[in-house]
Chain A
Amino acid sequence: GENVEQHPSTLSVQEGDSAVIKCTYSDSASNYFPWYKQELGKGPQLIIDIRSNVGEKKDQRIAVTLNKTAKHFSLHITETQPEDSAVYFCAASKKSNTGKLIFGQGTTLQVKP
């Protein structure tokens, strides 16, 4: 079945630096790739997503890139701030009538002031 691998598992950066989290997926039929942010004690929340017909998408300080040939996608956070500290999950899904997402293992991002 579909598998999503996420790296690194932990990431520590200085405030103002950039952070990059990478994911690979196994099912070439996957066509939707969201990223979720989970703050301590809360449920995950969608921060950005990309569909397979687009190579890159940006929203202020966050961006996502997709390489369909290599089957990997990445989250880029620029000018990191302490409030960016959280656990980030990537996910993948394909066109279906279930809406199921397959999640990566998560990355704990720490932004040091």
Chain B
Amino acid sequence: NAGVTQTPKFRVLKTGQSMTLLCAQDMNHEYMYWYRQDPGMGLRLIHYSVGEGTTAKGEVPDGYNVSRLKKQNFLLGLESAAPSQTSVYFCASSGRQGSSGRFYNEQFFGPGTRLTVL
């Protein structure tokens, strides 16, 4: 059981380049999230998904796109990277627990991707 994994761990881009960050979870969780972490600003939600085939905007969605074609994967895309997108990106998942269908709020985080845009 690997939990939440993220690839790549590190990446350096030039302004205007594009890339995709991959998040995978093996806990059969319904919900998945992408955050960015910047000094002094905590964790800010970029986009999230409440199930396969669904996505929604979070607090800071501009400049990012996401897709959730499979339940276990959540992709974060940067179409034209900007220096302001230099950050550490974390993926998280949470899910349904128990036969009652009650959703629990605990989010499990991946190890992060450190992205630098020059």
Q: Which residues of A contact B (CB under 8 A)?
A: 6, 9, 32, 34, 36, 41-46, 49, 89, 93, 97-101, 103-106
Contacts of B41 in A (CB 8 A): 105
Whether B8 sits at the interface, judged by CB under 8 Å, is no
A-B contact pairs, 20 of them (CB 8 A): A42-B112, A43-B4, A43-B92, A43-B109, A43-B110, A44-B43, A46-B106, A46-B108, A49-B105, A97-B103, A98-B31, A98-B48, A98-B56, A99-B31, A99-B50, A99-B94, A101-B45, A101-B107, A103-B43, A105-B41
Q: B99-115: which have CB < 8 Å to A?
A: 103, 105-112
Q: Does B98 contact A (CB under 8 A)?
A: no
A32 CB contact (under 8 Å) in B40, B48, B105: B105
Q: Which residue of B lies closest to A104 (CB)?
A: B42
Bound CA–CA A46/B90 (angstroms):
14
Most buried by B among A6, A34, A98, A99: A99
Contact of A49 with B90 at beta-carbon distance under 8 Å, contacts A99-B31, A105-B40, A105-B41 already known: no
A34 to chain B, nearest CB (A): 7
B109 touches A45 (CB 8 A): yes
